């Protein structure tokens, strides 16, 4: 039999109480017990309950509300608290989550969003949470700038989110001069520097309720606003911890890197399941690629996770794909066609290429690359065949 979890609504607003009651009745798995604005009544009620949910609206009494949340979450371990407010500033969300709230929803309530949150907590509280698929960290790397890393990371991450509908994080490891934000025309309210400085406080619930999704997809972008002060002294340990938190929260993490080969980059590479090593087809680039492969070998990166991705590929290039494979002694994993017009208009407009022209060879190439990465069977069996443009 389905469990039903007793739920108490706390709000000064009669209309909010009424609406929550209606939604809870419709949702069914949470049993609406009472609505009140009296904190002591809530405590008395949850004392008697084995498991409970409290939904508290702190719009009018923010400080008292937060104190109360802190009290319940510390005294009643089996009670979950969802905080609502009509002033959902990031600082407030962070405070609420730090004192133990399980979620934060902004008012006015959007039914679908509310039901998503209820579903997540119901599964969590009843132990019916489906096993999360294993996270894959995909790093888009080259020790050279200008080969298309950011263009690839951004479009690939979005396609992965669209295809799998799972949570995908796109992170920009170029803390100071990252340009992911420009590619998506974004001003993120949350940034990696903050995460790195608060690694001990950040967990899955915190991330999913604080991060902004890109439009209506399941892509979360973790970047610093341009020119944000660089996170000081980022240690390898911090980067590893950051990846471990991201792995717990997301199904895919796509990492955009800068051209460097410093400890941050090496750490990201070591923490990756798949490294898309981007190169273009010309002699200096291929020589550079060779040298980089040697370096990868020296630092002990497993060869199987490093894959060659040719960007700006042209069918009639003087150097053929076979030549490249011969020089590098490795199969080409994927080729992205050269399409300057589509790429430039996407970058200039701050939108993904699929929005400029979903039928362009470029958009299709990103989509198929995401398909291949998202389906490991497919990936293992057909890697070589499907890489042809």
What does the binding site for ligand ADP look like in residue numbers (CB under 6 A)? 145-151, 311-312, 336, 338-340, 343-344, 347, 362
Residue 300 falls in which region: left (phi positive, over 0), alpha (psi -120 to 50) or beta: left
CB 42 within 8 A of CB 8: yes
| Residue 80 interacting entry, from Mg ion, ligand ADP, none, C-beta within 5 to 8 Å by type | none
CB 107 within 8 A of CB 16: yes
Q: How far is the CB of 139 from Mg ion (least distance, A)?
A: 13
Site for Mg ion in 141-160 (CB under 5 A): 149-150
Comparing CB distances to Mg ion, the nearer of 167 and 257 is 257
Nearer to ligand ADP, 150 or 164 (CB): 150
Tell me if 171 sits within 8 A of 252, measured CB to CB.
no
Q: How far is the CB of 352 from ligand ADP (least distance, A)?
A: 13
**What is the DSSP code string of 192-234?**
HHHHHHTTTT--HHHHHHHSPBSTTSSEEEE-PPTTPPPPTT-
Q: Which residue is nearest to Mg ion (CB)?
A: 150
- What is the closest distance, in whole angstroms, from the C-beta atom of residue 338 to ligand ADP in the complex? 5
Work out whether 193 is an interface residue with Mg ion (CB under 5 A): no
Across 173-185, b (16+ Cβ under 10 Å) vs e yields bbbeebbbbebbe
C-beta closer to ligand ADP: residue 239 or 363: 363
Q: Between residues 148 and 188, which has the closer beta carbon with respect to ligand ADP?
A: 148
Yes or no: say if 149 and 110 are a contact pair by the CB < 8 Å rule.
Answer: no
In terms of CB distance, is 22 or 344 closer to ligand ADP?
344
User: In angstroms, what CA-CA distances link 22 with 15, 79, 377?
Assistant: 11, 21, 45
Question: Residues near 61 by Cβ (< 8 Å), separated by ≥ 6?
Answer: 12
By CB atoms closer than 10 A (0-12, 13-18, 19+), residue 290 is middle
Q: Does 279 bind Mg ion (CB under 5 A)?
A: no
Partner from Mg ion, ligand ADP, none binding residue 227, C-beta < 5-8 Å depending on class: none
DSSP 3-state assignment of 75? Answer: helix
Q: What is the DSSP string of 110-141?
A: -HHHHHHHHHHHHHHHTT-PPPPPPPEEEEEE
Nearest approach in angstroms of CB 180 to ligand ADP is 9
CA 141 to mean position of chain CA atoms: 19
Q: How far is the CB of 62 from ligand ADP (least distance, A)?
A: 42
Query: CB-wise, 276 or 362, nearer to ligand ADP?
Result: 362
Nearer to ligand ADP, 92 or 347 (CB): 347
Tell me which of ligand ADP, Mg ion, none is bound by residue 147, counting a contact when its beta carbon lies within the kind-specific cut-off of 5 to 8 angstroms: ligand ADP
- Residue 374 as a binder of Mg ion (CB under 5 A): the answer is no
User: Can you give the binding site for Mg ion, defined by CB under 5 A?
Assistant: 149-150
């Amino acid at each position: 039999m389905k469990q039903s979890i007793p739920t108490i609504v706390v709000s000064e607003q009669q209309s909010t109480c009424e609406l929550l009651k209606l939604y809870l009745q419709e949702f069914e798995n949470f049993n609406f017990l009472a609505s009140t604005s009296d904190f002591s009544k809530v405590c008395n009620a949850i004392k008697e309950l084995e498991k409970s949910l409290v939904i508290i609206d702190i719009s009018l009494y923010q400080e008292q509300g937060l104190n109360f949340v802190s009290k319940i979450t510390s005294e009643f371990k089996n009670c979950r608290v969802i905080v609502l407010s009509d002033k959902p500033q990031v600082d407030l969300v962070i405070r609420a989550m730090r004192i133990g709230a399980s979620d934060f929803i902004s008012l006015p309530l959007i039914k679908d969003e509310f039901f998503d949150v209820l579903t997540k907590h119901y599964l969590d509280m009843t132990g019916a949470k489906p096993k999360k698929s294993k996270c894959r960290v995909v790093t888009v790397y080259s020790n050279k700038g200008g080969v298309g890393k950011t263009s690839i990371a951004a479009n690939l991450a979005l396609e992965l989110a669209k295809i799998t509908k799972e949570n995908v994080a796109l992170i920009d490891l170029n803390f100071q001069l990252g340009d992911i934000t420009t590619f998506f025309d974004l001003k993120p309210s949350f940034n990696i520097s903050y995460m790195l400085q608060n690694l001990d406080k950040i967990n899955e619930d915190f991330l999913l309720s604080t991060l902004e999704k890109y439009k209506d997809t399941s892509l979360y972008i973790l970047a610093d606003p341009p020119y944000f002060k660089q996170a000081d002294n980022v240690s390898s340990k911090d980067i590893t911890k950051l990846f471990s938190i991201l792995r717990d929260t997301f199904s895919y993490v796509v990492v955009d890197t800068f051209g460097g080969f410093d400890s941050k980059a090496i750490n990201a590479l070591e923490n990756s399941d798949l490294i898309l090593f981007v190169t273009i087809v010309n002699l200096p680039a291929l020589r550079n690629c060779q040298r980089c492969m040697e370096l990868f070998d020296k630092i002990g990166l497993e060869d199987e996770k490093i894959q060659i991705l040719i960007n700006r590929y042209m069918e009639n290039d003087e150097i053929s794909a076979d030549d490249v494979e011969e020089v590098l002694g490795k199969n080409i994993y994927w080729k992205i066609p050269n399409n300057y017009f589509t790429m430039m208009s996407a970058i200039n407009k701050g939108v993904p290429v699929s929005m400029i022209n979903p039928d362009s060879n470029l958009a299709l190439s990103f989509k198929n690359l995401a398909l291949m990465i998202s389906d490991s069977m497919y990936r293992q069996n057909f890697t070589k065949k499907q890489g042809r443009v």
